Structure 1
Amino acid sequence: MQNISPAREQLLELIRADKSLPTLGIAIAKVVQITSSGEDSVADLAHFILSDVALTQKILRLSNTITYRTPGGVTVTTISRAIFLLGFDTIKANALASLLVEGFNDVRQAQVVRLELVKALCASVCAREIARRCRHPNHEEAAVAALFKNIGRVLVASFDHHLYDKIQSLCTAHPEQSHEICGQLLGCSFERFGETVLHDWKIPTSIINALQITHGDQKKTSVGTEWIRQVASFSDSLASILVNTDTVSAQMPIAERCQRLVKRFGAALDFDAEQLQVILKSVDKEARELANTLEVSMTPVLNASAIDKGVCKGTDSFNEFMLTSFDTQQLEASSRHASGKPMNARDLLLAGVQDATQMLASNQVKLSDLILLVLETLYGAMGFRFATACLLDVKSGKFSARIAVGEKYAERQSAFQFPVLNDNSIFHLAMNNNVDLMISDASNAKVQNLLPDWHKRLLPDTRSFIVLPLVIEGKALGLFYADRACTADEGVPPDETALIKTLKGQLMSAMIKR
């Protein structure tokens, strides 16, 4: 029976009193809860990422690294495009990694914290690689579980690095007694400590159970929760080998250091020594990209050349000959007009057109994904505060907002609807005449007379907006709407107008094919 240690209770009190961690816990729980890969979940994940400017920039930066580079080197500038290209699970895992690093690395700069964060990133990448190979139905949870496998260590290192150092020092000297040492000094294992905090964060039980320690050689299992635990344990062990500060053991060949892992987990997870080397190459490269993007030092990690000195990076060999595309960081750094519209709106719109073109070229594109991409492009490129696609609902006899992004998007989306019957509002006029409207000053008396009462109640502070009707063969299917709380005295020049119409045309083309 484990003793109730004063150190454990004091640490838990410190963690629970930390004002930043409850927010981190809520954010992590929110992402973890997005478990389905259906349309709503993709939109929910995109909305969550877009609501955090720093997280949005990190995900876009990662999407444009060599590891994830798109065919032809076309820069990814929208989260919806990133999800479409990299896959829902990859973006979700990377969003969680970003949240975890942001929650600990920036405010607590101890080297041991960074070391444990690197291990967490490596473990998560390893779990995703194993899951891809196994094609297990629980692959999504495995990557999340691996990321949080060492959360107990991260927390202890962050809040009491002296205790962490003492435990690590004694465990290194007496590895066979590590469980007893941790129990005596902390009051429980690192895993148990992490479980307690994750329970506070309302993380699903299936993820928390995966933190439990595995013992002995593992056998193949058909039980999903047990498989997740095996993957998390293996991934954490492999990460510990890769992120190794022990200079003596680091001199050993990687194959020799991994022999024990092959014996323990090979049969259960379907890999042998040769296949593990392939996994190592992929993990090392991807983990480096992820950690560098998240500004976590990768110095202790095994150099890729130590895994395979003869590997030739096929795509890297001709990078110097590729046509240059937009630079994501330059697009992010743009200054803005007083309205909030980026100075480089044209470049952002053009990047969105490229994204839509790439998406349309795929047979897997969903209309809802394309609508979200167009909305996100308009929202970001033009500096709007709210944007929505309002589509015809035959059953209700109304035009209703189906997808929205921006400030208070959920609340405004639910209330953004108006009857099909013509009421001479600015929205019906735009659809009846099939003309795109770009209003730079909504306080104009003529504009105010055309705004319906429901719009004035819902968005009373609107000062500039656009209306892009969606009309096919004379039939109004709906419209795009986006607004700002500031006037847009800079207007919309012809080149930007042309790109906006191109974006709309791409969506209309997809709608006609449906």
Structure 2
Amino acid sequence: MSEARIANAQPQDESATRRVRAALMQKVNGDEEMFALGGSIARVIELADADEPGPHDLAYFVLSDVALTQRILRLSNTVRYRTVSGTAVTTVSRAIALLGFDNVKTTALAMLLVDTLDNGAHAGSVRVELEASLCASLVGREMAKLSFYQGAEEAAIGALFKNLGALLVASHEHARYREINQLAAAGKHTPAQASQMILGCSYDTLSAAVLAEWKIPDVIVRAQAALPPGTLKTAGSRAEWMRQVASFSLEVARLLGRHGGPEDAAATPEARALLARYGAAFEIDAKALERLFTNVAEGMQGLMESMNLQPLPKPEPEPGDGLPDVLMLATLDAGEEEEGAWPSGKPKNARELLLAGVQDVTQLRANGKARVNDVILAVLETLYRALGFRFATVCLKDARAGQYRARVSFGPEQARVQAGFVFPMSAPGPARGGRDLFLLAMDNDADLMISDAASPKIRELLPSWHRALLPDAKSFIVLPLVVGKAQLGFFYADRAQLAPEGVPPDETAMIRALKRQVLAALAAG
């Protein structure tokens, strides 16, 4: 960039810089993918583990995206998180239990950013900023472990979005991004000053503005604000601490991105400068900082593996502009082959998936900490994924209301169908006066696997509420949950296609093994 161009970038032309900033915000807000990203991010952030439905809602959100499901499962099976027994984690429910609710929540947010901001035209620059964002979120997670503040885990989210401004400019205004980098590389301006000159606002201000537009909670928006210069004191509030963590996390991410291993990074003048600025505020010394670097580097390796992203090579200047060498984003999920499926949608490797689910649920119960709801959710997810169902739910008895009512479910239009999946415990059957299929299954404790729901003899046993709610259900299963003589409810799952392939004996045995785990949990709980 020429000296004349730099001079023209100075803030005296305020109207020009404001137009640049306004144009960028308009571009971001008008981009359909970015609009959808904002909605998805807001939805994930509002999921709270303080409420009973929290883990289920998060599991459902992840399961609604096949690619996201695969990446969360891959992450939970990396060396860093793999269970002591070496048993593979095959359900999102188990992944949440293993990784932790907040860990999965932040990881899902990071993966949403990767998916949406993969920009083929400027992939190298976008990738640099994505890696900085992902790494910052891991630093924030490590810092949360050291904090006494309630809800400290939110710091990982604040840190993840600290770099959002740079990420959006790299993706949507790459020419401006190059200008900012060139101005900062000259050494006379910080990135904040350079972005202020080129955009009319700093990267931090842009990050906060976009997050506010997406209706992200204020505490996360405020965490994007710049800190005063110089040595920092211990934060006087959780909000101030989150601001400190967000800034520190991005600085650590930048430092680790510039150097090889954590040991090399810890020995640099930049690391000493970090300690001088943040050491007193966070009560960390050189050894603690090096441990932090090591933990973050290990976490980053697992996160990159889970998304099939190869690490970027060390940045090298391009002739004439000082930008990193362009490296196209690795294709997400590259090389993965989908297993074959029957026309009904049932995977042909259902046996292997069921077996893995049985092992998963057995291990979940073996640790002695799983609640009944955790076991039910893990079994429901296994049935849903392993057998390729369109809709799956667990229906439990509400003795006070005299009804059976769906409690949790997976599948398209899950909320609508679940709301309608309610019927009296002593409801009359079809018009001919016989009892309905669901009550017959409960009374006889019979596991039903219906391959053709349209056959006359089956259809006449289907209650009117089921025919109205799920008119296109062509095949389904009903697995009663009966402990002693107490009829507690049942699992139900269906497809919109016939399932003539049926369920062979080995699969049946594993389905019943899953059901026995639930019955044992119900009896014990």
Measure the CA separation in 2 of the matches of 1:300 and 1:243. Answer: 10
**CA drift at 1:454:** 0.3
Q: Any idea what SS the aligned residue of 2:489 has?
A: strand
**CA drift at 1:420:** 1.2
Contact kept in structure 2, 1:292 and 1:298, CA below 8 Å: no
* CA shift in 2, pair 1:351/1:293, >3 Å: same
1:194 and 2:207 correspond: yes
Alignment partner, residue 443 of structure 2: 432
Q: Any idea what SS the aligned residue of 1:67 has?
A: coil
Match of 2:195, as an amino acid? Answer: C
Per-residue deviation, residues 69-104 of structure 1 (Å, max 9, x unmatched): 111211111110100111101101100010011110
1:238 and 2:238 correspond: no
* CA shift in 2, pair 1:383/1:228, >3 Å: same
Measure the CA separation in 2 of the matches of 1:445 and 1:396. Answer: 32
Picking from 23, 39, 63, the partner of 2:52 is 39
Picking from 323, 332, 338, the partner of 1:333 is 338
Q: How does 1:109-508 map to 2 (within 5 A)?
A: 109-176=122-189, 178-215=191-228, 216-244=230-258, 254-300=267-313, 333-421=338-426, 423=428, 424-508=435-519
Q: Any idea what SS the aligned residue of 2:53 has?
A: helix
Contact kept in structure 2, 1:391 and 1:401, CA below 8 Å: yes
TM-score calculated relative to the size of structure 2: 0.89
Match of 1:173, as an amino acid? Answer: A
Measure the CA separation in 2 of the matches of 1:330 and 1:83. Answer: 26
- Range with bigger deviation, 411-420 or 173-182: 173-182
Measure the CA separation in 1 of the matches of 2:393 and 2:495. Answer: 13
**CA drift at 1:362:** 1.7
Match of 1:238, as an amino acid? Answer: V
**CA drift at 1:406:** 1.1
**CA drift at 1:184:** 2.0
Measure the CA separation in 2 of the matches of 1:472 and 1:112. Answer: 59
Contact kept in structure 2, 1:425 and 1:450, CA below 8 Å: yes
Alignment partner, residue 67 of structure 1: 80
Match of 1:110, as an amino acid? Answer: A
Alignment partner, residue 322 of structure 2: none
Contact kept in structure 2, 1:58 and 1:293, CA below 8 Å: yes
Per-residue deviation, residues 250-285 of structure 1 (Å, max 9, x unmatched): 987635330111111112122111111111001011
Measure the CA separation in 2 of the matches of 1:403 and 1:252. Answer: 47
Measure the CA separation in 2 of the matches of 1:395 and 1:233. Answer: 53
Measure the CA separation in 2 of the matches of 1:190 and 1:23. Answer: 22
* CA shift in 2, pair 1:329/1:364, >3 Å: farther
Measure the CA separation in 1 of the matches of 2:340 and 2:140. Answer: 40
Contact kept in structure 2, 1:243 and 1:300, CA below 8 Å: no
Contact kept in structure 2, 1:331 and 1:348, CA below 8 Å: no
Aligned-pair Cα RMSD in Å: 2.1
Measure the CA separation in 2 of the matches of 1:135 and 1:67. Answer: 25
Per-residue deviation, residues 471-494 of structure 1 (Å, max 9, x unmatched): 111121111100001000100000
Match of 1:220, as an amino acid? Answer: T
**CA drift at 1:294:** 2.2
Q: Any idea what SS the aligned residue of 1:418 has?
A: strand
**CA drift at 1:427:** 0.5
**CA drift at 1:440:** 0.3
Contact kept in structure 1, 2:119 and 2:126, CA below 8 Å: no
* CA shift in 2, pair 1:360/1:251, >3 Å: closer
Picking from 50, 60, 79, the partner of 2:92 is 79
Alignment partner, residue 321 of structure 1: none
Contact kept in structure 2, 1:128 and 1:143, CA below 8 Å: yes
Q: Any idea what SS the aligned residue of 2:153 has?
A: helix
Measure the CA separation in 1 of the matches of 2:312 and 2:334. Answer: 24
Measure the CA separation in 2 of the matches of 1:177 and 1:271. Answer: 25
**CA drift at 1:394:** 1.1
Per-residue deviation, residues 154-187 of structure 1 (Å, max 9, x unmatched): 0011112221111111112134455443222111
Alignment partner, residue 118 of structure 2: 105
**CA drift at 1:19:** 1.8
Q: How does 1:25-36 map to 2 (within 5 A)?
A: 25-36=38-49
**CA drift at 1:332:** 7.1
Contact kept in structure 2, 1:77 and 1:352, CA below 8 Å: yes
Match of 2:83, as an amino acid? Answer: T
Measure the CA separation in 2 of the matches of 1:415 and 1:178. Answer: 54
Contact kept in structure 1, 2:183 and 2:189, CA below 8 Å: no
* CA shift in 2, pair 1:479/1:177, >3 Å: closer
**CA drift at 1:33:** 1.1
**CA drift at 1:61:** 1.2
**CA drift at 1:52:** 1.0
Sequence identity, in percent? 45
Q: Any idea what SS the aligned residue of 1:197 has?
A: helix
* CA shift in 2, pair 1:30/1:291, >3 Å: same
Contact kept in structure 1, 2:122 and 2:174, CA below 8 Å: no
* CA shift in 2, pair 1:187/1:470, >3 Å: same
**CA drift at 1:198:** 1.4
Match of 2:62, as an amino acid? Answer: I
Measure the CA separation in 2 of the matches of 1:144 and 1:301. Answer: 27
Contact kept in structure 2, 1:441 and 1:464, CA below 8 Å: yes
Q: Any idea what SS the aligned residue of 2:358 has?
A: helix
* CA shift in 2, pair 1:377/1:152, >3 Å: same
Contact kept in structure 2, 1:356 and 1:503, CA below 8 Å: yes
Contact kept in structure 2, 1:349 and 1:500, CA below 8 Å: yes
Match of 2:382, as an amino acid? Answer: T
**CA drift at 1:452:** 0.3
Measure the CA separation in 2 of the matches of 1:451 and 1:178. Answer: 66
Q: Any idea what SS the aligned residue of 2:494 has?
A: strand
Contact kept in structure 1, 2:398 and 2:404, CA below 8 Å: yes
